[in-house]
Each structure stands twice: as C-alpha cells, then as structure tokens.
Structure 1
C-alpha cells in the first residue's frame, strides 16, 4: 500500500527535476524555497507532494510555465519522456511564447559580450575626454 502512495505522488523538487524544468535538484529546491514555484496557486515547500491533476506555476527568469501534472517519475528520463509528465494548456503556451517573442523583438535577450582590448582602450579614451 505504501508503494502505491509513492507512485501516485512525489516531492515537488523531485518532480521538477524529473520533468526537466531544472538541471539539478538543488536548483529546483532553491526555486521552490525562493517562491518561484506555486502548486494550486499556493506557495509550497520542497517537501510538498504533487499528484496528477495539480496545477503548477513555475517562474524561471522571465518565463512562466503553467502546467498540469499528468504523472510522476522517480528517475530523470529523456526529454521526450519528461514531457509526458505534464501538460501545458494552449493558452498558457501562447502567452509564454508571446513574451519571449516580445523580448526578442525589443532586443532584451541579446547577449552582451565583454569589450576586447581595443574596445577597452577606446572606452578609456572617451572617459578621459569627458
């Protein structure tokens, strides 16, 4: 009977790791403790169990996922299998993609490289003239 209960629910930090939202469990724990993960619109602790049917809101950087738990898996499996653990509604997926596209169009996600030696010299010259 205890084995059945384990397969029906799983700790949120393990689930986030198995569903590949976070690369490591400590990162998942940090996100949950930081208030970036809500289950059924409630802030939770890493030890909170999730069950199929629970709604999870995950905020990671500027992206927010709202997914419904479809299953649990004790081990981290390939990404194709991990996608079977949750379902994202079409509405929420479109919202998330619209935010990503808007940030891309405004140039927010463009990586800024460090200036090289020549550029540093030019910056120093400009500073001297001001």
Structure 2
C-alpha cells in the first residue's frame, strides 16, 4: 500500500502511525474517553481522517492541536511520522508555556527541609534528650501516672 494513494484513514491508526500513542489500542482508548476531537467534534476510533483535518488531542497533561499533512499505511520512524502533521502555532505556544510553568513550579519535595530523620539523626536526638540506652537510659526519670512520687 503506497502512502501517497491513501485518501482516508482510521483516526486511531493515524494517531498510532504519527506516534502520538505507543499502541493503537491506547489511541482508541483515548478517543473513546473523549480526549481527541477532529475538526472540533468528538470522534470515534473508526472515524475517517483526511489531509487538512484538524485533530486536537492530549498527550498526558499536554494539549496539542495538529493539522493532518499526510496519511501513512504503516508506522515508521519518528522523523517520517513528524511529516504526517503540522502543529498549529497556538498549540506550540501553549505547549511551551506549560513546559515553562512546569520548570518554574517548585518541587513538592523541596518544601521538606530536612524530611524524616535518619537512624543516625534519631540517635543524636536521643543522646541530647537523655533518652538513649547508650547514655545510661534514665528509666526512673520517665513520666509516670502514679501518685507515689
């Protein structure tokens, strides 16, 4: 099958051939969840796609809008797959802005200055507070609820 002779192609197969999704079943699943639209309308996996159609999809958290430039009967290498579509300027700007926000967003783990103490830290804390067994362990000085003392 010559890729130049194709006039229409299934949407799920095109998304797989254009390397937006790793498997065709993943592409069909994303389409079924309503995360892919063609020319502004929700689509089904078997929807016929033609050159010039606009496909809006989401890869992870990144929304993308592409215009179909070509159809291919087989999944090829990434440079060939990138020739099957052209991303819109608005989509490129939105994707770059999202990447910049992710870059500038603080890492959640950075809010934890010291985090959970290590075993060495716990031993040092115990030594300072005279609770450790290595420092004589003052068992008689611990708090008690008895009235006798």
TM-score (norm 2): 0.68
Aligned-partner Cα distance in 1 for 2:34–2:118: 43
2:51 aligned residue: 52
C-alpha deviation, 1:104, in angstroms: 2.2
1:83 aligned residue: 82
C-alpha deviation, 1:94, in angstroms: 1.4
Give 1:4-19 correspondences, 5 Å limit.
7-19=6-18
C-alpha deviation, 1:88, in angstroms: 0.7
1:61 aligned residue: 60
C-alpha deviation, 1:97, in angstroms: 1.2
Structure 1 moving runs of 4+ over 6 Å: none
Task: Check 1:105–1:71 CA distance in 2 against 1; reply closer, same or farther (3 A cut).
Answer: same
Task: Check 1:120–1:72 CA distance in 2 against 1; reply closer, same or farther (3 A cut).
Answer: farther
RMSD (CA atoms): 2.5
Q: Does 1:95 align with 2:118?
A: no
Preserved contact between residue 54 and residue 68 of structure 1 (Cα < 8 Å): yes
Preserved contact between residue 36 and residue 60 of structure 1 (Cα < 8 Å): no
Preserved contact between residue 58 and residue 65 of structure 1 (Cα < 8 Å): yes
Aligned-partner Cα distance in 1 for 2:24–2:44: 13
More displaced, 22-31 or 86-95? Answer: 86-95
Task: Check 1:121–1:30 CA distance in 2 against 1; reply closer, same or farther (3 A cut).
Answer: farther
SS in structure 2 at match of 1:91: helix
C-alpha deviation, 1:121, in angstroms: 7.5
| Runs (5+) with no aligned partner, structure 1 | 113-118, 126-130
TM-score (norm 1): 0.77
Aligned-partner Cα distance in 1 for 2:15–2:81: 10
Look at both structures and tell me which one has the larger radius of gyration over its CA atoms. Answer: 2
